[in-house]
């Protein structure tokens, strides 16, 4: 009986180990094949899964099977480690302390979740965190109607984009700011498209230091719909699966080029830090990502109803440019959303 169970375990481990390794290796070559980059969004899962399955396989396989396990599992684990380990190391690097006699600003980025109508709970969570600036995504009319009156007294400075889908955004602040022409608010309701928007607002601290906050929300990295588009050849269908996200990165990067001085970019990017596209975007825009292994999604998941869940993907990010110092970043309570919120403390360089 024991030998039979051992045989079943060996039979099951072979496809699991092979599948995990192929996914990890494909992701490693995502820089050359954009479609393969989608595997990188789950690299931490491949990394942990390979570590566990490889360890078990080495224990239960005999000499002949071990050669396959070592080769396939080892290559997959190495491929995953190349992308995952640097991010794990960066998570332990820490943040610089606040310089003496420097004013800090607390910034919260929160995806409200379009099916979350408990805005009193959101307002309570914001009050507890006590940010100076709040960047909101999935800020639809249902969320605005329940939240605006609760925030406007403490956060009287507001700018909104009610463009639908990925263009429903807001920035609330207790610090005065100036709206700029660098914001982009497409009307997805009228166009029936899903174009990305962003809000750009400029602040001045009490000691005269200026900086800009940009709030955005990008789409998922891959689309299935192009596969059903019979007007396209198959190579074009495959390319179209990933082209929308590439265009969005290019549009946001182009929008940031017109903004001068210290800058903070926050939002739900629907992308993990192991993705080549996210890293290429940061390099193209001259940004430093300050969020490392902060798992923000899914805080809720639909399993025969919406249920609390343990986040395992870091989809929400904070980037800085031109000397902004970030002294802490943490993930805070979801307050009914499927995302945890980001809360950061930062300071602006003199001059």
SS3 content of the chain, % helix, strand, coil (to 5): 45, 25, 35
Stretch 199-221: mean pLDDT: 92
Contact criterion met (CB below 8 Å) for 294 and 314 = yes
Tokens of 293: 């292994």
Burial 76-115 (b: 16+ CB within 10 A, else e): bbebbbebbeebeeeeeeeeeeeeeebebbbbbbbbbbbe
- Of 232, 261, 108, the closest CA to residue 170 belongs to 108
Look up the pTM and report it.
Answer: 0.93
Q: Is beta strand 210-217 parallel, antiparallel or unpaired with respect to 263-268?
A: parallel
Q: Is beta strand 133-137 parallel, antiparallel or unpaired with respect to 168-173?
A: antiparallel
Cβ-based neighbours of 56, under 8 Å, separated by 6 or more: 9, 13
Q: Is the pLDDT of residue 208 over 90?
A: no
| Summary mean pLDDT of the chain | 92
pLDDT band at 247 (very low <50, low <70, confident <90, very high): very high
Measured CA to CA, the distance from residue 147 to residue 30 in angstroms comes to 41
- Looking up tokens 């239960």 gives 60
Query: Tell me, what's the pLDDT at 9?
Result: 63
Query: Tell me, what's the pLDDT at 59?
Result: 81
pLDDT band at 88 (very low <50, low <70, confident <90, very high): very high
Stretch 153-168: mean pLDDT: 94
Contact criterion met (CB below 8 Å) for 269 and 218 = yes
Q: Is the pLDDT of residue 351 over 70?
A: no
Stretch 154-174: mean pLDDT: 95
Q: What is the pLDDT of residues 115-154, one digit of tens each?
A: 999 999 999 999 999 999 999 999 999 999 999 999 999 9
Q: Is the pLDDT of residue 5 over 70?
A: no
Stretch 181-205: mean pLDDT: 90
More confident residue, 115 or 303: 115
The DSSP letter of residue 313 is B
Query: Tell me, what's the pLDDT at 122?
Result: 97
More confident residue, 179 or 45: 45
């Amino acid at each position: 009986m024991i030998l039979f169970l051992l045989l079943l375990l060996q039979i099951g481990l072979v496809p699991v180990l092979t599948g995990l390794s192929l996914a990890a290796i494909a992701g490693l070559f995502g820089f050359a094949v954009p479609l393969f980059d989608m595997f990188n969004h789950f690299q931490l899962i491949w990394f942990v899964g390979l570590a566990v399955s490889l360890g078990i396989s080495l224990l239960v396989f005999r000499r002949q099977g071990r050669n396959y396990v070592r080769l396939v599992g080892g290559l997959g684990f190495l491929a995953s480690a190349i992308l995952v380990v640097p991010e794990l190391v960066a998570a332990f690097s820490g943040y610089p302390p606040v310089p003496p006699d420097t004013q800090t600003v607390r910034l919260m980025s929160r995806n409200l979740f379009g099916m979350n109508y408990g805005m009193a709970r959101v307002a309570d969570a914001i009050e507890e965190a006590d940010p100076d600036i709040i960047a909101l995504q999935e800020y639809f009319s249902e969320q605005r109607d329940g939240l605006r009156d609760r925030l406007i007294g403490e956060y009287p400075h507001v700018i909104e984009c009610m463009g639908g889908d990925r263009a429903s955004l807001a920035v609330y602040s207790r610090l005065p700011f100036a709206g700029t022409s660098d914001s982009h608010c497409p009307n997805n309701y009228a166009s029936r498209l899903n174009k990305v928007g962003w809000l750009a607002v400029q602040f001045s601290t009490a000691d005269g230091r200026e900086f800009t906050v940009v709030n955005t929300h990008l789409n998922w990295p891959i689309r299935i719909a192009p596969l059903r588009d019979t007007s396209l050849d198959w190579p074009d269908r495959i390319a179209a699966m990933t082209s929308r996200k590439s265009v969005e990165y290019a549009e946001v990067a182009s929008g940031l080029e017109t903004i001068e001085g210290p800058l903070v970019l926050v939002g739900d990017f629907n992308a993990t830090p192991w993705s080549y596209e996210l890293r290429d975007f940061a390099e193209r825009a001259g940004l430093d990502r300050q969020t490392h292994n902060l798992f923000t999604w899914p805080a809720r998941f639909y399993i025969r109803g919406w249920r609390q869940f343990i986040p395992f993907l870091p989809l929400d990010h904070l980037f800085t440019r031109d000397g902004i110092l970030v002294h802490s970043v943490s993930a805070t309570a979801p307050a009914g959303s499927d995302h945890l919120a980001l809360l950061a403390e930062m300071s602006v360089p003199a001059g």
